[in-house]
Structure 1
Amino acid sequence: MKLPRIMPRLAGIASSLILGSVLALSGAGAAHASESAAGPAYVALGDSYSSGVGAGSYDSGSGDCKRSTKAFPALWAAANAPSSFSFTACSGAKTGDVLANQLGPLNTGTGLVSLSIGGNDAGFADVMTTCVLSSDSGCLDRINQARSYVTNTLPGKLNSTYDTIRSKAPNARVVVLGYPRFYKLGGGCAAGLSETKRAAINDASALLNSVIAKQVADNGFAYADVTGTFSGHEICSSSPWLHSVNWLNIGESYHPTASGQSGGYLPAFRSAA
């Protein structure tokens, strides 16, 4: 989800701007390709959950897209030696960014495609900012707006994206990955959001995943559910694989860690690919 890039400031000063910068899943950028030798030609599309924001070890050539060598697409490619690997996922991407900026490497020879998309379209960054800064009722109101968008508008945007991917890569196996459950309820967080807010965020994430999964099935693609692999590793668990607010690197907040990429996303993708 697209995050404005700003420096964190002293507590209490411009906190909404800081939190707005926290939450990008986002962007749109150029392909990074590497040649290898054996498996299907692989193209990795999507937002920051695919580019690897939060995992560190970013490719300097990817700029604001923040593609990580520890992201699940790079890990899968290193282990499976695809005949080619094009990594166009980008921090901040919405469905429109995928269509406009990421599909160049797709062709009839593409054998495998991965994609995570939809969270930025649904306004994840603004939802989280609102929930951190406002009351329970303010948080729930904003979540209800997002739920309405996910139910009524997002399916059409996903279908348009999936249709275009299929037209450009008609022979590819396309794996669409969902998003983790964010919070362990009743967990070990002594401060932060209320349990009411955490539960509502989890429920909204589940709705988003269910809408994505339905559109994936309708289009004949494969859906990779990551809620199981992240189980026990949510925020407020004893071993979280998701950053909470990270004041040292604000843009990584609410994104998977390197362990979340290797232990959460990679196994789910590997099983579906």
Structure 2
Amino acid sequence: MVLGAVTTAFTTVLATNASAASGVNYVALGDSYSSGVGSGSYISASGNCLRSTLAYSQLWANAHSPASYTSVACSGATTADVLNNQISALNSGTNLVSITIGGNDVGFSSVMETCVLDSDSACLSAINTATSQADSVLPGKLANTFAAIADAAPNAQVVVMGYPELYDLGNSDICPGLSTTDRSALNNAADTLDSVIQTAAQNAGDSYADVRSNFSGHELCDYFSEWLHSVNVTDVTESYHPTADGQSGGYLPAMDSVTG
């Protein structure tokens, strides 16, 4: 009898979730963290956008069976790319939108390249420049982007996803590669970026999903349990991006925490 009751309850939950999502028209926007760079299983038709079947948005759609699902997220996308190339995927029938955006606007990929290839001083200088841009320039760009999303999809719940910290500083002393000073500065920069994005999302009336706690214990220097790629010389585009486990264990639960 107990097993039957549990099975019935579980079936009811699944049916409720499916019913709740049956009227959802979901569009995923954003950059490489949303397209799924680093998780593999790329859709050939997406070309250089590198959309993956293992991206959190596709995993959410697989689990919830929305009425429709479209991803126009693209590797390298900035706020300008969202406005110029992605907004057109939205309409008044769109009622769920997710997005990661902002990292490319402050040149985060070039910062990482500088830190890997150059000196500590050059790395810290690049980080300081990016952080300054995040504080001064990015808020306005995000405000314009989130306003445009609201105009194009006035009935949508918009879920703005943050970025993870890259390094577990507790293991830095036994972890080869960048200095602890550089790693600490990069984590602080990620925190600044997330703070700016969260404030802009809240100002726009959007939901913000913080992924940092999900990635805790799975950052670079967390041996054998990392959910992020370190420098990949055979495929540079995957460097410092979530693995498939990072999408399913880091981003998907954050999306679920907001959408239910």
How far the C-alpha of 1:240 sits from its partner, in A, is 0.5
* Aligned residues between the structures: 237
Q: Which residue of 1 aligns with 2:185?
A: 200
- C-alpha RMSD of the superposition: 1.1
Match among 13, 31, 35 for residue 51 of structure 1: 35
Deviations 1:50-74 (A, max 9, x none): 0000000000110000000000000
> How far apart are the structure 2 equivalents of 1:241 and 1:75?
16
Q: Helix, strand or coil for the counterpart of 2:76? A: coil
- TM-score normalised over the length of structure 1: 0.85
1:146 pairs, out of 109, 130, 133, with: 130
TM-score (norm 2): 0.89
Cα separation, 2, equivalents of 1:207 and 1:183: 15
- Name the CA distance, whole Å, in 2 between partners of 1:39 and 1:248: 42
The residue number in structure 1 matching 2:6 is none
Contact 1:114 1:175 in 2 (8 A): yes
Corresponding position: 1:267 with 2:238: no
Report the equivalent of 2:222. 237
Match of 2:106 among 104, 122, 125: 122
**How far off its partner does 1:105 sit?**
2.0
| Between structures 1 and 2, the one with greater helix share | 2
**Helix, strand or coil for the counterpart of 1:98?**
helix
Q: Which residue of 2 aligns with 1:247?
A: 233
Tell me the CA shift for residue 111 of structure 1. 0.9
Corresponding residue for residue 66 of structure 1: 50
Q: Does 2:72 correspond to 1:88?
A: yes
Name stretches of at least 5 consecutive residues in structure 1 with no aligned partner: 1-36
2:77 partner amino acid: A
Q: Name the aligned partner's letter for residue 125 of structure 1.
A: S
- Match of 2:95, SS? strand
Counterparts of 1:50 and 1:202, CA distance in 2: 20
Which of 240, 244, 251 is matched with 1:258 structurally?
244
What's the CA shift for 1:94? Answer: 0.3
**Counterparts of 1:137 and 1:39, CA distance in 2:** 53
Q: Which amino acid aligns with 2:132?
A: S
Q: Percent identity?
A: 59
> Residue 213 of structure 2 aligns to a residue in which SS?
coil
Matches within 5 A, 1:172-183: 172-183=156-167
CA distance in 2, matches of 1:133, 1:57: 29
Map 1:5-20; keep pairs closer than 5 Å: none
Task: Quote the residue 1:162 is aligned against.
Answer: 146
Query: In the alignment, which residue of structure 1 is the partner of 2:7?
Result: none
**Aligned-partner Cα distance in 1 for 2:163–2:169:** 17
**Deviation at residue 104 of structure 1 after TM alignment:** 1.6
Tell me which amino acid in the other structure corresponds to 1:204.
A
Is 1:51–1:90's contact at 8 Å kept on the other side of the alignment? yes
1:223 to 197, 201, 208: 208
CA–CA separation in structure 2 for the residues paired with 1:147 and 1:49: 19
Report the 3-state secondary structure (helix = DSSP H, G, I; strand = E; otherwise coil) of the residue aligned with 1:42.
strand
